[in-house]
Chain A
């Protein structure tokens, strides 16, 4: 069953067309990787799916679980189970991480018709997730992402994903700025969240992330279009030959 269906998606930023006709089908529980060089439109695709202002869809459609995703507000998309793990999580001084997590969680639960969690219930749940993800530190007691290291920020994204239990997780360059140890930790967290009812779209420039988060399908994005699709061996081929060969062949 298709969770996400993207058809002929065109989008522009500041009047410049970045996505020039994307087609992509993601089924339940599948992991798709989108690889591409800088400027190919990877981040534009993730922000467009998350509903960021300034990313204007000019053509095409995106259907998520039978609904028109493009008509939904960013918060409605999140409530419906679309989760974007940011490439650069935003530092928000003055907002305590725990307050934020609880408010996000209860907003999503409210939209799904589930009971609101009180402070005690929430803490119990959060502590359980922290333990599962092996996050043993004081991150949640600090202001949201403020002064966090690159690795801490990415782990915070994974924690949020674990709490919000999305149906579709979009991981935007989750490997950027991470050393290999941090990368492994984050990938372990993501892998722990793999489930039959959870699809993932992993966006990355480098193949190495896909050593740890192994995809079912790999797509190559170039100049706003998907120019090749294949299984995980495509990622290895890219690693070997570089983007020029692949995109050159496609062009």
Chain B
């Protein structure tokens, strides 16, 4: 089950960890040491691990990595986009490191703590100690273990009771580090804690230039009673990057989580999202769109755990795959014995634009309660010939007609985004992807 660890991902851990922020504090030393120990035992997952059957990390495992963790300065001046909402708060990470110069967080209003992880370790260790590694239980998850071994940089957001963060908080990740001989890896670690009744919108953009970096992020989210988080991610990494993002969400009674991932970059991308509906009446809306061309692999793996009664979950994913690209969708819904009146739905639809494109879909329902409404559906197909001919018969050239149909298809997922500005921006990004392909 393991691959060798001589690729440098864990090199000099003991020595390097001693220099990381917060080293010396018992809890953080223990957390990192535990992560290192587990990763040393597990290695990167191979395809023999059931959850990784369709996504092969062997090329990554064979790479050689520079000593952790992406401290390399940018080769080129990072091109950081303006905040989506004018003058909105923006935290910028360059090659895995928080960059205070490029960031513009402004003064956080009362009740809001928004800090890079290294500062949070110093300023609010109690909050961190009580949440970190608890939401994201290390278990057998080797990538979370690897991330935990090196946890040093990332972002912490804490909202006090009933506080609302109206403008989206943006996290921008710019990467361009690495070379042919040695790749860079970084392991951002984020913690979002919403006290009862608080609400926020978080936007992540993953961008950069080629360099073959490996970004392995972990985000832990805890929403207390009645709190709500909207979490939008644009994954537009350079074409040779590997992007693995693990998100663990715990929702208390009446809390809600809305997620959208637009995945269009990286040579290999995997978004794994696990949501536990822990309190009665919690709701999760977990959606996304993925696009691939060339030999890209884009993997979406979700787990929605209905652990309390009366919770709802919905998942809407749409994928467009061209050339030899491959999509993976593994969606699991678990309804536990006591979670009566659960309502869980999941849909994954993919369009294959080429004969050589492929989608591997594995929906799973595991239901232990008897009074539930659950459904899942997965389809894969080509663009509708009837629709294409109808549009062309009205004078619309074929490539434009295909474009209209692709946009309409993707819009079925993007339409779930409740934040209007983000929705419009993501729609533009999806269209830009299509136009880059000449369609």
Query: Which residues of A are interface residues toward B (Cβ below 8 A)?
Result: 50-53, 73-75, 77-79, 84, 86, 89-90, 92-95, 99-100, 103-104, 107-108, 111, 143, 160, 164
Q: Does the CB pair B405–A95 fall under 8 Å? A: yes
Which residues of chain A are near B395, meaning CB under 8 Å?
75, 78-79, 104, 107-108, 111, 164
B99 within 8 A of A: no
Which residues of chain B are near A74, meaning CB under 8 Å?
389, 392-393
Complex: A92 Cα to B400 Cα, angstroms: 15
Q: Does the CB pair A73–B405 fall under 8 Å? A: no
Q: Does the CB pair A107–B411 fall under 8 Å? A: no
Complex: A46 Cα to B256 Cα, angstroms: 54
Complex: A111 Cα to B405 Cα, angstroms: 22
Selected contact of A75 from candidates B396, B405, B411, CB within 8 Å: B396
Among A53, A94, A143, the most chain B Cβ lie within 10 Å of the Cβ of A94
CB-nearest residue of chain B relative to A109?
B395
Complex: A93 Cα to B408 Cα, angstroms: 7
B368 within 8 A of A: no
24 pairs, A vs B, C-beta closer than 8 Å: A51-B393, A73-B398, A74-B389, A75-B392, A75-B394, A75-B397, A75-B401, A78-B395, A90-B384, A90-B386, A90-B387, A92-B384, A92-B387, A92-B390, A93-B408, A94-B407, A94-B411, A99-B404, A100-B404, A104-B396, A107-B396, A107-B397, A143-B408, A164-B394
Q: Does the CB pair B398–A95 fall under 8 Å? A: no
B203 → A minimal CB distance (Å): 24
Which residues of chain A are near B386, meaning CB under 8 Å?
90
Which residues of chain A are near B401, meaning CB under 8 Å?
75
Which residues of chain B are near A160, meaning CB under 8 Å?
394
Complex: A51 Cα to B388 Cα, angstroms: 12
Which residues of chain B are near A164, meaning CB under 8 Å?
394-395
Which residues of chain B are near A79, meaning CB under 8 Å?
395
B327 → A minimal CB distance (Å): 20
Complex: A100 Cα to B388 Cα, angstroms: 12
Q: Does the CB pair B408–A95 fall under 8 Å? A: yes
Which residues of chain B are near A99, meaning CB under 8 Å?
404
Complex: A160 Cα to B391 Cα, angstroms: 11
Complex: A90 Cα to B390 Cα, angstroms: 7
A4 → B minimal CB distance (Å): 16
Q: Does the CB pair B412–A53 fall under 8 Å? A: no
Among A75, A78, A79, A100, the most chain B Cβ lie within 10 Å of the Cβ of A75
Q: Does the CB pair A103–B400 fall under 8 Å? A: yes
CB-nearest residue of chain B relative to A88?
B386
Beyond the given A51-B393, A73-B398, A84-B393, please list 15 additional residue pairs across the A-B interface where CB-CB is below 8 A.
A52-B389, A73-B392, A75-B393, A77-B393, A78-B393, A78-B395, A86-B390, A90-B384, A90-B389, A92-B387, A92-B405, A94-B408, A99-B404, A107-B394, A143-B408
Which residues of chain B are near A52, meaning CB under 8 Å?
389, 393
B433 within 8 A of A: no
A111 → B minimal CB distance (Å): 7
Q: Does the CB pair A50–B404 fall under 8 Å? A: no
Which residues of chain A are near B405, meaning CB under 8 Å?
92, 95
6 interchain residue pairs of minimum CB distance:
A94-B408, A78-B395, A104-B394, A90-B390, A108-B395, A74-B392
A117 → B minimal CB distance (Å): 14
A99 → B minimal CB distance (Å): 8
B409 within 8 A of A: yes
Among A73, A86, A90, the most chain B Cβ lie within 10 Å of the Cβ of A90
Q: Does the CB pair A93–B394 fall under 8 Å? A: no
Selected contact of A93 from candidates B393, B398, B412, CB within 8 Å: B412
